[in-house]
Structures are given as structure tokens and as C-alpha cells.
Amino acid sequence: MDTSDLSSNRTADDESHPTARRIQRLSLHLTPVPRPLDHTDVQLETLTCAARPKLNVDANSLLVFMRGKHRDIQEKVFDFFNARPDLQTPVEISKEDHRELCMRQLLALVREAGVRPFRYVAEDPSIYFALLEAVGSVDMSLGIKMGVQYSLWGGSVLNLGTKKHKDKYCDGIDNLDYPGCFAMTELHHGSNVQGLQTVATFDPFTDEFIIDTPNDGAIKWWIGELVGGRVGLAYSSVSVLKVSVVIAVRYSLLRQQFGPAKQPEISILDYQSHQHKLMPMLASTYAFHFATLHLVDKYSEMKKSHDEQLVGDVHALSAGLKAYVTSYTAKSLSVCREACGGHGYAAVNRFGSLRNDHDIFQTFEGDNTVLLQQVAGDLLKQYKEKFQGGTLTVTWNYLRESMNSYLSQPNPVTARWESEDHLRDPKFQLDAFRYRTSRLLQSVAVRLNKHSKTLGSFGAWNRCLNHLLTLAESHIETVILAKFIESVKSCPDASTRAALKLVCDLYALDRIWKDIGTYRNVDYVAPNKAKAIHKLADYLSFQVRNIARELVDAFDLPDNVTRAPIGKQSEAYSQYMQYVGF
């Protein structure tokens, strides 16, 4: 069939006829229309009201800034598995075969590639977590296996063992002669550690431990630990989010559907609805990247200093970030899958396995709802310290000033400011986040005090539970934004700094808009300002879309790591067809 005749010799009647128009559309898929190399910008200029030029980004500088300090060891992991097809996880594999493969992968990484994660658990946790991110990107199950061996089992010996235990076990843990785990959770109790019932009592006469499990509910059921595991999960969850966002954004740039009459089809990422799905998510991924790096740095500092105040700070921060980030990633995986249409459902494009493997992140190392309650409880403790003149830990220091500003009424003048310069001012953004947290903290403290008089402390807590969860999420978002703003300011390259500032602004304004009711209810934001925030957030999504390719490329994930044909950097469709047998 000569499709060129259909595309070049149409009559007006033909074009109005649905069947002929459909055939003509199909013919365009078979006979690509020549277009300029920079056709994306041409399309955007004709289809949007934006007048400003696309932000120019130095892609290499952005990539270097995002790489961090330990990229060398990550590349060693990527290169090793890329060179070993026998160790790459296939799309279809049974549970038993996958378990066996994970063990072979870890043994090969340690004994053949010479990567020794255990040394970094003790010497430099930041390198260990960078290694964990790389391994988890290769196969999430492998990342969990590595964490169980070195952080759970090895960490238990390091933190609880004497010199005798360390001399006996550490070398074997390091080289995998002694695979193991740390099991704490019982069938009936997990989050309530004080409710655990199994007791091990050492009998010096027989040189044995006597294990007393009083009932079936006290059977050891899951493996798990506390702070270190939560840091690793928050960090690993961001790596999962990066993989899914890279696949979804690259596919959305590649995929073309519909367009103006007699013009080529446009990328689906040029549709405002698609930008609304993916661009705030891309901004959040960047925000989480910097926040979890901050968490890892604090955790490393804590392990070196053993400072009690820092221990409490890291405990609360790791609980909050683990809960917030893993919940966000779980929801985002479904959005990314849907953003890729039917091709996102194909097993080879990985969203199904990513969702299945990541789903457990929301409940192991602490149920997310319980962890957020811990954050809320710590906030209330800090609130009490503030009014008693005590010292606040570093993460909570902002409460001292913002609580004072909360006690005064919002400024009716600034509540109406709607200029772009004002809305993109980091001070306005951070003040808004901190004001919201302070207001929620003040109001829930009043409610708890009121209800405790009739319901008792436990009943009052339960009555205010949803309020407390919202408070915890608000605080974590405040910490995330603060660290994002700091990272933007610390970037030495002007081009990269401008790109990061754009992404940071989108993150901040999107979050403010999503909770605009809170700000409107107390007149912190007037109606005209709320409208301006919404309009600017939409525009920033469009601006971020213009540099979306550079932003996802800066995550520096090789094709052999993302492994989804539709997320390839080039020849995505041909590789997709090759995989399914064409």
C-alpha cells in the first residue's frame, strides 16, 4: 500500500471523513514526517502561552553535581553486572530461582568484584549507603539481601558484640562464610517492641541459652532492626523513584500522540495533564535526593560521635523520612505506570516488579503510620522544651522562631503579594512551610490537652491521630525543602544552580498548592495569591518539562540498570520490539 498517496493527495471531503482521517493518521506512523532537530521547542511555542525561552542547562555540570562523593564505587557495581549477563535478573523468574540468583549475585560482588560492604558499615556509612543504592538499582531484592547480611546481621555483631564476638564472626560475615540475619519481630508484636515475649536466658552451668517462647504469638516471625535500616530504606526508596521517573519521563518524551490538524503529532509530555502528573514528581525526586543525603551525613556523624542529642535527632528524622519517602514512592510507581499507558503494564518495562518489590518498604523497619506518630511525639516533646526554655535539637531549631510568628496574626499585606519574584523567594516558601507546621503543632497540643482531661492520654492521642499524622508529614516536608534550598545555594555552577532553583520552586509551590486550604483557612494566603500560586506552579511544570531530559539524565542511570526498553536513552522502540520477538 502506497501511504504517500494517502498523505499527500487528500481532498477536503477525504479529510473530513473519519475513516480516511484515521488511515492518514496511521500512515504517519509508517512514513515519518521530517522535522527539525529541535522540533520539541517549536511544538511548545505553538501549543503554549509561554513566551520566555527554555532554560539552558549545562548537562554535564548538573550530572557531576548530582553524582555525589561516591560515584566511583557505584560505577564499579554497574560495570561488574553489565559484564556478567549470567548474573542479570531476568524478567520472568520463580521465587526459588530468584533467591538462589540473589545469593550468587552477592557472592560474586564480594568475592569476584572485590566489593566489601561490611567494612563501610563500620568505617564510613555514607559509602555503604551509596553502595546499597547502586546494588538496589541493579536488583531491589539484591539490595535487601545485602542490607540483611551487613547492616542487620553484621551491624548487630558490631553494635552488640564484644571483642570476642567480633574476632570470631566479622571476617566470616564480611566474606559471606557466615550468612545470617537479626530477628526481632514476633507474630503478635512488631511495632510494640515492649510487647515482645520470647526470652533468652543464659545458663552458665550448661553454657547454653534457654529460649522461652510462652505461646505461638511469641514466635519470631520477621527480620528487622531500627535506625540504620530506616536510613537505608529511605535512601533506597529514592533510588527506586529515580528509576521509575527516568523510565516514565523518557517514554513520555518519546511517545507522540495527536496534534494540531495537518501537523506532526506531539510528545505526550507536551500535554499539560502529563506535565501535572510527572513534573512535580520529578521535582520531589530531586528534593528527596538531597534530603536523604543529609540524613546519611547525620547518621554517619552520629556513628562517629555517639552524641546523645544527635542520636535522638537522627532517630526521629530517619523515621519521618522513611515513612514519607516510601509512601510517596509507592504512590508514584502507579502514576508512572499509568503515565506510560499500556506499555507501562508490560512486565519487561519493570513497573510491575518495581511496585511489587517496593511495596514492603511501607511496613518493614516500622509501619509508616507508626513512624509518623513517633515524629509527632518528638515534635510535641520539642514544643514542650521550647516553652520551658530548653535546648532544641538542630532539626527542630526552626520551631523557636516560627512558633513565635504563629502566635501573631498573618500579615494582611504579604498575604496578598502575588508577584513571581515573591512566590519564588525561598524565604516565602520556607516561611510558609514552617508556619503550617507550627500552626498544626500549636493546635494539636491544645486539642490533646483538652481531650486528655476526659479521655486520658491514650484516648486523647487516638482522638487527634489524623491531626498528628498531618503534623508529622508537614514537618518532614519542611525539612526536605530546607535541605533542597541549602543544596541549591551550595551549587557552584550558575547554570546548574538555575536549573535546581527552578525544580526547587516547583516542589515548594506544588506542595503549598496541595495544602492551600490550610493557608486559606487562617488568611495566610489571600484568594488572589492562591490563584497566583496555582498558575505559577503550572507554568513551572512546563519549564521543568523543557529540561526534563537533562534532569533525568543527571541521575546517571545506565540503560543496563533501568532495563526497561521504553526507558532507553536511544532506540527504545526497536529494542522493545526486539525483546518481544519482532
Give me the active site residues, please.
365
Q: How far is the C-alpha of 169 from the C-alpha of 166, rounded, in Å? A: 5
From the centroid of its chain, how far is CA 78? Answer: 21
Q: How far is the C-alpha of 355 from the C-alpha of 326, rounded, in Å? A: 11
β partners of residue 208: 203
Asked if 242 and 336 sit in the same domain, the reply is yes
Asked if 26 and 72 sit in the same domain, the reply is no
Asked if 360 and 485 sit in the same domain, the reply is yes
To the nearest 10 degrees (0 to 180), the angle between helices 368-387 and 308-339 is 140
Q: How far is the C-alpha of 157 from the C-alpha of 155, rounded, in Å? A: 5
Q: How far is the C-alpha of 115 from the C-alpha of 110, rounded, in Å? A: 5
* Cβ atoms within 10 Å of 293's Cβ, excluding its own: 19
Question: Is 224 known as a binding-site position?
Answer: yes
Asked if 28 and 91 sit in the same domain, the reply is no
Asked if 16 and 88 sit in the same domain, the reply is no
Specify if 55 maps to a domain: no
Asked if 378 and 460 sit in the same domain, the reply is yes
Tens-digit pLDDT string for the chain (582 aa): 444 444 444 444 444 565 555 555 544 444 444 444 444 444 444 343 344 677 888 999 999 999 888 989 999 999 999 999 999 999 999 999 999 999 999 999 999 999 999 999 988 999 999 999 999 999 999 999 999 999 889 989 998 899 999 999 999 999 999 999 888 888 887 767 788 899 999 999 999 999 999 999 989 887 765 566 889 899 999 999 999 999 999 999 999 899 898 889 999 999 999 999 999 999 999 999 999 999 999 999 988 887 888 888 899 999 999 999 999 999 999 999 999 999 999 999 999 999 999 999 999 888 999 999 999 999 998 887 765 555 555 555 666 666 666 656 677 788 889 899 999 999 999 999 999 999 999 899 999 999 999 999 999 999 999 999 999 999 999 999 999 999 999 999 999 999 999 999 999 999 999 999 999 998 999 999 999 999 999 999 999 999 999 999 999 999 989 999 899 887 777 778 877 777
Those residues whose C-beta lies under 8 Å from the C-beta of residue 270, and which sit 6 or more positions away, are 40, 43, 44, 47, 545
Domain count, the chain: 3
State phi, psi for 212 to the nearest 5 degrees.
-115, 110
pTM for the structure as a whole: 0.86
Residue among 116, 340, 141 at smallest CA distance from 244 = 340
Specify if 220 maps to a domain: no
Q: How far is the C-alpha of 311 from the C-alpha of 294, rounded, in Å? A: 15
Specify if 371 maps to a domain: yes
State phi, psi for 578 to the nearest 5 degrees.
-65, -40
Q: Judge contact between 42 and 59, C-beta under 8 A.
A: no
Of the three residues 122, 151, 184, the one that is the final residue of a domain is 184
Region for residue 389 given its phi and psi (left: phi exceeds 0; alpha: psi -120 to 50; beta: otherwise) = left
Cα distances from 304 to residues 294, 311, 382, 425, 572, in angstroms, run 16, 11, 25, 37, 46
Domain assignment of residue 531, given as a range: 234-582
Residue 108, all three cell numbers: 560474586
Q: How far is the C-alpha of 512 from the C-alpha of 531, rounded, in Å? A: 12
Asked if 159 and 303 sit in the same domain, the reply is no
